[in-house]
Amino acid sequence: MATGYQVIARRWRPKQFHEVVGQDHITRTLENAIRQQRIAHAYLFVGPRGTGKTTTARIFAKALNCEGGPRVSPDDNSPICQAIMDGSCMDVIEIDGASNNSVEQIRQLREDCQYSPSQCSFKIYIIDEVHMLSVGAFNALLKTLEEPPSHVKFIFATTQAEKILPTIVSRCQRFEFRPISEEKICGQLSLIAKGEKIEIDDTALKSIARLANGGMRDAQSTLDQLISFCGKSITEKDVLEVYGLASRKEIHHLASLLAQGDYPKILAAVDHLADTGKDLYRILIDLQTYLRELLIHGIRSGGETNRLGLPLTVESLMRMNDALHRGKEDVKMGLSQTVNFEVTLLRAVEQSRTRSIDSLIKELSGMAKKAPQSPAGKKITGPAGKQGSSPPAPPARETTESTANPGPRNRETPETVEKAVQNLPKELRGAMDELFRVEYTHVESLPHQNISPGKAG
């Protein structure tokens, strides 16, 4: 049975510039171009899927061709605007670049453009997925694109600008569509829900927006699907269940376990997530986004954050996030998603902890710098000095000088530092060895008796 149902994404397609969400930098420029009558002959709209490229191209075509146009706010009730919107206007020609990409088709287009528009001021060609045109087709278009007849305008749209010949790009005005912020997607979804008489939690809206990754069409399709699943009332639980997402609380909990380095609890949490059918790849993305929030909080609070229940430095959060990022592909492509997910989390813990080794190394170098000077004014050096251009002073002499002239005593002695290194968990020393082999060797070989003023001699 045909129902004639039209999806939300189509019914809620913006009809005017001011309705396009999150692309103000583009709509403002186009509106100004219309007001100032500075309309170029070719435009290139670039950006991720479902962010408003085709929509804006249609609004722009309407603005140029409407009665009394070009006008910033075309009258949607006029016959020409109606015809443009339902695709029956002869002078606004939408071409799918994916299926009309041959040289012959572009030659035909070149011939057609010579004829005047039948009912409007301009003949406007909107070519979607323009990156799919063959090289021959692009070349056949070059001359026309350089100097089209004055009644012809081109609007190209693509998600992959890098595949378009630079000679084509340079003949167009280029507009970059941005991923739409979660906040703006929530705002638009809330408007749609009101219009559709759907009850939906704010947290549910946020989860849908999170899933959409900046694409408004994806967000609207998700909402459509959820309405089919839940009816007129949608909660966060529904969204999490249908799409296998973890709640913010669960993400926070997992991040806390990583910060504590509690391996048994991490393994138990992974089992639980896998058993409840969660999308582990998505959880990694959400975990990264969450750690990024903490990172920003840490930077703003002077280099450290306590939001996970214990002090975490920005550096260790960065290492943790980096490890999650590196594990993402494995989790996405790997045969055993759960195992890869588990390993990625454990690696994140280990990497975040290597920071303490790093700081030890820095501390040791600091101590080496503070070490007493030889009479010649030369600092007593550790292995760093060995690698440097000037040869280190003879050890026997340094020892004597150090005894004669003890410098200010550091709070950490080489013994305490070395003990701290020895006391680190075995796994951590392993990770350190792998990640910081050079520095590690450096630390191990530091002649402690030489760099400690109190101990020397």
Ligand X SMILES: Nc1ncnc2c1ncn2[C@@H]1O[C@H](COP(=O)(O)OP(=O)(O)OP(=O)(O)O)[C@@H](O)[C@H]1O
Residue 12 binding target from ligand X, Mg ion, none, CB below 5 to 8 Å by type: ligand X
Binding mask 53-72 for Mg ion (x = CB under 5 A): xx------------------
Distant-in-sequence contacts of 238-242, Cβ < 8 A, 24+ apart: 238/204, 239/204, 239/207, 239/208, 239/211, 240/207
Q: For the CB of residue 186, give the shortest distance to ligand X in the complex, in Å.
A: 13
- Decide: 340 and 327 in contact? Cβ < 8 Å: yes
Q: For the CB of residue 313, give the shortest distance to Mg ion in the complex, in Å.
A: 44
Q: For the CB of residue 220, give the shortest distance to ligand X in the complex, in Å.
A: 6
Smaller CB separation from ligand X, 217 or 347: 217
Smaller CB separation from ligand X, 55 or 100: 55
Smaller CB separation from ligand X, 220 or 374: 220
- If 0-12 CB within 10 Å is exposed, 13-18 middle and 19+ buried, where does residue 106 land? buried
Residue 50 binding target from Mg ion, ligand X, none, CB below 5 to 8 Å by type: ligand X
Q: For the CB of residue 157, give the shortest distance to Mg ion in the complex, in Å.
A: 5
Contacts to Mg ion from residues 16-55, by CB under 5 A: 53-54
Q: For the CB of residue 441, give the shortest distance to ligand X in the complex, in Å.
A: 52
Smaller CB separation from ligand X, 12 or 60: 12
Smaller CB separation from Mg ion, 217 or 442: 217
The partner residues of 96 in beta bridges, in order of sequence, read: 128
Pairing of strands 42-46, 152-158: parallel
Q: For the CB of residue 213, give the shortest distance to ligand X in the complex, in Å.
A: 13
Q: For the CB of residue 132, give the shortest distance to Mg ion in the complex, in Å.
A: 12
Residue 443 binding target from Mg ion, ligand X, none, CB below 5 to 8 Å by type: none
User: Cα 110 to the chain's mean position, in Å?
Assistant: 39
Determine, following the binding rule CB under 5 A, whether residue 158 of this chain makes contact with Mg ion: no
Q: For the CB of residue 8, give the shortest distance to ligand X in the complex, in Å.
A: 7
Q: For the CB of residue 68, give the shortest distance to ligand X in the complex, in Å.
A: 26
Residue 22 binding target from ligand X, Mg ion, none, CB below 5 to 8 Å by type: ligand X
Residue 14 binding target from Mg ion, ligand X, none, CB below 5 to 8 Å by type: ligand X
> Which position has the token pair 């009258």?
75
Cα–Cα distance measured from residue 329 to residue 340, given in angstroms and rounded to the nearest whole number: 9
Residue 220 binding target from Mg ion, ligand X, none, CB below 5 to 8 Å by type: ligand X
Smaller CB separation from ligand X, 220 or 305: 220
Residue 380 binding target from Mg ion, ligand X, none, CB below 5 to 8 Å by type: none
Residue 266 binding target from ligand X, Mg ion, none, CB below 5 to 8 Å by type: none
Smaller CB separation from ligand X, 180 or 349: 180
Question: How big is the CA angle at 332 (ends 329 and 336), to the nearest 5 degrees?
Answer: 110
Q: Which residue is nearest to Mg ion (CB)?
A: 54
Smaller CB separation from Mg ion, 172 or 193: 172
Residues that bind ligand X (CB under 6 A): 9-10, 12-14, 20-23, 49-55, 128, 157, 159, 180, 188, 216-217, 220
Smaller CB separation from ligand X, 55 or 316: 55
Residues interacting with Mg ion, by CB under 5 A?
53-54
